[in-house]
Amino acid sequence: MSLYSEFLADAKEMVADFGVAGSCNSGAITFSCLISDPAVQTVLEAGGYCERTQYSVRLPAVTASWSQPDGSIGASAALLSGGAPIASLAQGKKIVAGGKTVRITTQTYKPGSAWITLVVIDDNQ
């Protein structure tokens, strides 16, 4: 077993223990993920300053569907395709994580990493 495959196995265990339900592509793809506590920041937009609530969402970088040890779905489909996150996890797309509908502002994936990291904001912002 390579070091990177051990990292992925550990990521799946963390999601199984502490993860929340998530989905993308209007619910066609479901997954378990980790979501951070909200971070509220003030941003300057047209018309003045506004508050923006931001979260960090982490998903195991899997190339196939997988199930958690309790039998629940870890991911209903691959989240990586051709070494890159799927199009449904692209910047500007909407996902549901932990019951919140959010919009992706930043996507980070380093080839070989066990995680896809998304920075998201509340969809109503």
| Ramachandran category for residue 17: left, alpha or beta (phi over 0 → left; psi -120 to 50 → alpha) | alpha
Q: Indicate the pTM of the whole model.
A: 0.90
Residue 16 pLDDT > 90, yes or no?
Answer: yes
Question: Quick one: tokens of 52?
Answer: 């923006």
- What's the pLDDT score for residue 2? 82
Q: What are 17-62's pLDDT values in tens digits? A: 999 999 999 999 999 999 999 999 998 989 899 999 999 999 999 9
Q: What is the DSSP letter of 88?
A: G
- What's the pLDDT score for residue 1? 65
Q: What are 60-118's pLDDT values in tens digits? A: 999 999 999 999 999 999 999 999 999 999 999 999 999 999 999 999 999 999 999 99
Q: Would you list the domain boundaries of the chain?
A: 3-122
- What's the pLDDT score for residue 3? 86
Residue 125 pLDDT > 60, yes or no?
Answer: no
Cα gap 36→104, rounded to integer Å: 14
Give the pLDDT band of residue 13 (cuts 50, 70, 90): very high
